[in-house]
């Protein structure tokens, strides 16, 4: 082959490689999608240990053998006033995040199969791992939430829920699973959970996400379990 012809072919090949569209590695794709919907998910499911108590029940007056509606009215007024003060507080909400992201558990899979057919969904390939550590750095400047690793604090089962003024522990915790995508990668499903601590409360959810106009958003949240 003449040298000039060899150079010409080489230049053509190099040109075609240079024009080839860069593909995002599958593992990065999943992580990027989770990053884009993480705050929206947390905002939809988080629990605040300061306001988990139900309204005070009516008190029965044994002397009159009647319900003390006067006393209950006062207690209800104080109860709702306190809840409103918490909701209107602009201080960032400290949430503990379980940052090990694993596949949906077999138990949760059984639960969500009742809500959605998972046969057309699959996980992206993450080399040498079935799980990964979720990086909270991109959310350090979030205006509403202050995210920290749950492992930084005493186990949530040991939290005293009666000590609502304790600012040294999170107001709640969340965990999120890996995402399963449909074939076209326009929809995804994952599970998430939230707790207020104390080992007395917890809720699980099926999260359905969808790519609309190039942006990933939560399209549906289904409450699946309580503990």
Q: What is the pLDDT of residues 128-186, one digit of tens each?
A: 568 999 999 999 999 999 999 999 999 999 998 888 888 889 999 999 999 999 999 99
- Where residue 45 falls among pLDDT bands split at 50, 70, 90? very high
With a cut of 70, say whether residue 93 has pLDDT above it. Answer: yes
What phi-psi label fits residue 203: left (phi over 0), alpha (psi between -120 and 50 degrees) or beta?
A: beta
What phi-psi label fits residue 205: left (phi over 0), alpha (psi between -120 and 50 degrees) or beta?
A: beta
Determine the pLDDT at residue 64: 79
Question: Of residues 60 and 99, which shows the higher confidence score?
Answer: 99
Determine the pLDDT at residue 124: 80
64 to 57, 61, 68, 107: CA distances (angstroms): 18, 6, 9, 52
Q: What is the DSSP string of 101-142?
A: E-PPPHHHHHHHTTTS-GGG-EEPP-TT-S-EEPP-GGGTT-
With a cut of 60, say whether residue 101 has pLDDT above it. Answer: yes
With a cut of 60, say whether residue 21 has pLDDT above it. Answer: no
Determine the pLDDT at residue 126: 64
With a cut of 50, say whether residue 9 has pLDDT above it. Answer: no
The angle subtended at Cα 220 by Cα 219 and Cα 224, nearest 5°, is 155
Structure tokens at 189: 């499903």
Residue 191: which of 8, 34, 21 has the closest Cα? Answer: 34
Determine the pLDDT at residue 199: 81
The DSSP call for residue 183 is: T
Question: Of residues 190 and 113, which shows the higher confidence score?
Answer: 190
Determine the pLDDT at residue 15: 43
């Amino acid at each position: 082959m003449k040298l000039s012809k060899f150079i010409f072919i080489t230049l053509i090949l190099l040109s075609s490689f240079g024009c080839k569209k860069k593909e995002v590695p599958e593992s990065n794709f999943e992580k990027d999608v989770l990053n884009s919907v993480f705050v929206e998910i947390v905002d939809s499911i988080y629990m605040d240990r300061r306001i988990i108590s139900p309204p005070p029940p009516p008190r029965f007056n044994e002397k009159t053998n009647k319900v003390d509606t006067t006393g209950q009215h006062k207690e209800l007024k104080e109860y709702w006033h306190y809840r409103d003060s918490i909701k209107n507080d602009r201080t960032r909400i400290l949430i503990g995040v379980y940052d090990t992201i694993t596949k949906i558990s077999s138990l949760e899979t059984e639960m969500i199969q009742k809500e959605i057919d998972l046969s057309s969904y699959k996980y992206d390939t993450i080399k040498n791992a079935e799980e990964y550590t979720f990086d909270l750095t991109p959310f350090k400047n979030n205006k509403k939430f202050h995210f920290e690793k749950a492992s930084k604090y005493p186990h949530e089962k040991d939290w005293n829920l009666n000590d609502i003024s304790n600012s040294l522990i999170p107001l709640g915790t969340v965990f999120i699973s890996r995402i399963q995508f449909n074939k076209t990668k326009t929809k995804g499903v994952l599970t998430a959970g939230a707790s207020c601590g104390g080992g007395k409360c917890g809720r699980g959810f099926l999260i359905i996400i969808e790519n609309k106009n190039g942006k990933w958003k939560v399209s549906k949240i289904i409450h699946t379990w309580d503990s």
